[in-house]
Amino acid sequence: MTDRAPSVLVSILSWDSPRYLANLLDNLDGLPPSVGGRTSVHLHVLDQGSDAETCELIRSFVARGGSRSAAFLPGNIGFGRGHNRVFERVYRQTRFDYFVMVNQDVLFGHPGWVDQLVEGMADPAVAIGGPVVWQLCDRPGVLLETSPQPDVERIFSIQGSVAIVRTDAVERFGLFDAAYSPAYFEDTDLCRRYVHAGLKLAWIPIAQVHAYLGGQEKLIRRKAEALRAEHGDFHARNRALFRRRWMAETAPAVTEETLERLWPGVYRPKRPERRADGESPASS
C-alpha cells in the first residue's frame, strides 16, 4: 500500500476554437482540477493545426505555471488519434494512474472535479467513467441517446467529452481504435471493448456543461464541413463499423491475446521499463 496521491493526466485537444478554448482554460485556472493535494494532476493540451490566436492561448496557459505542457501538430489527426498521442507522449516519460479526456467546449462547475472522477473509480473493476453516458434507445432508427442522468440499467458507454480511464485497462486492452478516424463512435467502441473484457463502466456525476455555444460557434461548423470534405460521411461510416462489430447477436470476446488480431488499429502503450522502486527511468 502507498499513501501517495493518485496521478492523473488530463488530455485536452484543441482545434481552432478560441472562444471555447479561452473559456475552458480560464475555467481550469479558476476551478482547479484537484484541491488539497488529493490527486496529482498534469494538464496537457494537444493542438491540431490551429491558427495563431488559439496557439497563443495555449502557450499563455502553460506559461502561467503548474504541471502543464502542450504540443502542436500541423493538422488535425482526429479525436482518437489525438488522445492516443497525448497518452503515449506522457506515458513514455512517467506512468500515471488515470487518463482524463476533456473536450475544448466543456466547462466545470466546481473545483476538485478530477478528485470527484477519481473517487468514482474506487471499484478496481471499473475501467472508464464519466458524467454523461450513452444508453440504448427504443426510438425507431436511433441506436443510442445521451443522458446526463441515466437509467443505470441501460448504460451502454461513457461519452468521451469528459471521461476518466484507468491506465491499467489501457495497458491491457488499449485506448482508441484508429479505424474510427477522425471522430465518432470511438468512445463507444472503447467502452464495449472493456465491457466484453469483463470490466465495468461507471456513471460519475460532476457539474459540467458541454458544447454550450451551440450554433453560435460558426467556426466549428466550418471545420466540420472541412472534415466532411476530406473524409466523407465519417459519422455514417463509423456508425456502420460499430454496428458490424458490436451489435451482432454474438459480440466478439475480448482478451489481451485476441486484441491485436481483432482490432489491429487499437493503440496499446509499450510499458516503460521500471526500476526496482517502481518508477520509470524518465520520471527521476
Per DSSP, the residues of 59-122 read: HHHHHT-SSEEEEEESS---HHHHHHHHHHHHHTT---SEEEEE-TTEEESSTTHHHHHHHTT-
Which pLDDT score is estimated for 271? 66
Q: Which helix (H) or strand (E) holds 20?
A: helix 18-30
Residue 204: which pLDDT band, with cuts at 50, 70 and 90? very high
Which pLDDT score is estimated for 283? 33
pLDDT at 247 over 50: yes
Which pLDDT score is estimated for 282? 34
Distance CA 54, CA 200 (A): 37
Which pLDDT score is estimated for 215? 61
Give yes or no for a contact between 54 and 65, defined as CB atoms under 8 angstroms apart: no
**Of 82 and 275, the one with more pLDDT:** 82
Distance CA 20, CA 209 (A): 12
Report yes or no on whether pTM surpasses 0.85.
Answer: yes
% of the chain beyond a pLDDT of 90: 67
Residue entry with cell 488499429: 265
